[in-house]
Structure 1
Amino acid sequence: MFRLTFVFALLSVVHLQAAESPLRVKVLCYNIHHGRGTDDKVDIERLARVIQSVDPDLVALQEVDSGVNRSSQINEPEKLGELCKLTPVFGNNIKYDGGDYGNAILSRWPVARHENHKLQSYYPKEQRGLLEVEVTLPEQRGSLLFFATHFDYRGNSPERLPSAELVNRIIATKGNTPAILAGDLNEPPEAPAVRELARVWKRTNDGELPTFPVDTPKRQIDHILVHPPARWRVVETRVLDEAVASDHRAIFSVLKLAK
């Protein structure tokens, strides 16, 4: 009886220590160019291999097709989820070429809910969105919010700053719930929309890690940010050395979340 009680007590201590230690979170942000690589081939299996190379917990994808003719009507979120053994969530923003087009998220952890917020749009037929997913963390650590987005690409676009302001208004309603934002923001770190986000969020890299164009990257326009900053520690952030599967390079962060 004493031995059994001791075992239960030991297991309780181990569980408590696990819950109190920082949780390691691996995040990938990748504009997949609807699966079309620099060789002009749509190859979803190749994209899956890039994603699997870093074994991420959470993946934010931009320029994702579902049922679109140009990509052979493949349901890309479902296919990537199946290949990577992750749960897919798709946020459709526009109807395009017989199907849907938008952002997607892949998650290792259970998805409790999801919502696709529409960003302010100045251009007809080019609605953009902010896909929000709430995941249930392991070890009874509660929830984490993960956001995937893609801001307008045009130079001096009137959309990007209002989009960043909306993102900040949304996160202001979430209290102290830990959150990660990942996306193709189409701006370098010193530009207005990224600076607006950085008032509230913390970027996971200092300076600039170029992600675009894919062959000889010169600018970082793909970013990962965390909130609230005090709860997160960045272990590493790097750009993946893969230059064929898409027209962007993927950016990857390893993070630690304090309880």
Structure 2
Amino acid sequence: MYEAGNTAAGRDRGTAVPVPRMWRRPRGAWGLVGLVAAVLLGTSLPANAAAAQGQPVAAVQAAPAAVDPECVQPGNARLSPRFYWRNVFGVRLGEGVIHESSSPNPFGGRIAPGSTFTFRWRPETTRNPVGSQYHIHRVNLASVMAVADVESVTGPGSFAGTTLSVQETPPHKLGDTVVRFRIRPGTEGRTATLSSADHSLTTRWLFTNINNLWENSGSISFTVASRASLGCTSSSVLG
């Protein structure tokens, strides 16, 4: 019996008993670690939830301020200068017109800061001088841009400083150039003017430049007024 207990099999059975005991201790340690982690996770959840709830507030604070509604008292003043060329004998060589319009039209009326309007501009040569290669049309909008910012420009025209220009190449016809303006804050009481004198035209003709003559002259203007003086609270364009 004594010898049997000291056999290899007996020794194996004797040494096999402590093995499970060695693995019980880590499982107990891992259980303790899991308990601590659960407690820590439970205490961190309210803070994360509060942070998540705080995100929409930050997004609202970062949102841009609402834009004031349009406030325009439209006018009916328009300016469409006509031009022509003539030779030394006074005979007309060609002619055309500058089509201009605004919507809503502040010219002849009043407009409040923050409001917008579109300016449409389209030079058209109705009869070209024989031998003309191209025409370069320009309009200086410095007076308007002194009280308004350019928000967008679409069409064939482009700006260089305060001058809008376009090239017309016969027989090709130009489309409208549309400029969107927004009246700047702090410009109440100021007047913007557009006149025939703000227009110019240069024609390339037989390798030389010839200047045109303006058939009609005039000017149109609008005034920047406060919203209160226009009676605007939340309405848009006035009648």
- Aligning the two structures, in what range does the TM-score lie when normalised by the shorter sequence? under 0.3
Q: TM-score when scaled to structure 2?
A: 0.25
Which structure: larger Rg?
Answer: 2
Q: TM-score when scaled to structure 1?
A: 0.24
